[in-house]
Amino acid sequence: MKKIIIADDSSLARMFTSRCLSAGGFRNYEVTEAKDGQEVFALLMETTYDLVISDLNMPEMDGVELMTRISQTPQLQSVPVIIITSAGNEDQRKALVTMGAKAILSKPITPSDIAKAVGDLLDAEENGYA
């Protein structure tokens, strides 16, 4: 079973993203929730995860810092990260992609948004071009 981290300081956002994942057809996943980037990083250092879906604007450690930490940690560099953000202007989005974000989705997301982003990622992984 694939393991996914959903990170957002908002309980509603975490629940909503999880619900969209399920409605988007991704039901055989074990979802772990995290409130900020620090929690995500700690989880990643303990256990192997297949995907991180993270908000950008979080207290303690935001999405940018999380991506920086992941990219600087050799054993985590292959973990794909999808960013979900309420804002994220164009420059920020480009910076996130440069840092390695696989997709950037705008809130409010829909099941089809998440299905496409996660589906594209899984297809790429399975076919060797992630």
Partner 1 sequence: MRDWNLDKEKLRLAVESTLENIAFCIVNEVEHATATPASEMVSSFISCTIGKSYKVAIALSIHEAYLDKIVSDLYPDAESIGEYLQDTLDEFINTVAGIFFRSIEYEIGAFQLSIPYHEHSAISESAVKYYFLLDDTHPLTITIS
Contact indicator for 37, 60 with CB cutoff of 8 Å? yes
**Cα-flanking dihedrals φ and ψ of residue 3, to 5°?**
-115, 130
**Nearest-approach distance from CB 16 to partner 1, in angstroms:** 6
Distance CA 28, CA 109 (A): 20
Q: Whose CA is closest to 51, among 90, 91, 24? A: 24
Which of residues 24 and 80 has its CB atom nearest to partner 1 in the complex? Answer: 24
**Nearest-approach distance from CB 125 to partner 1, in angstroms:** 29
Which of residues 10 and 38 has its CB atom nearest to partner 1 in the complex? Answer: 10
**Nearest-approach distance from CB 128 to partner 1, in angstroms:** 34
Which of residues 25 and 59 has its CB atom nearest to partner 1 in the complex? Answer: 59
- DSSP character for 25? T
Where along the sequence are the contacts to partner 1 (CB under 8 A)? 9-13, 15-16, 57-59, 85-92, 106-108, 110
Taking every pair of C-alpha atoms in the chain, what is the biggest distance, in angstroms? 36
**Nearest-approach distance from CB 40 to partner 1, in angstroms:** 17
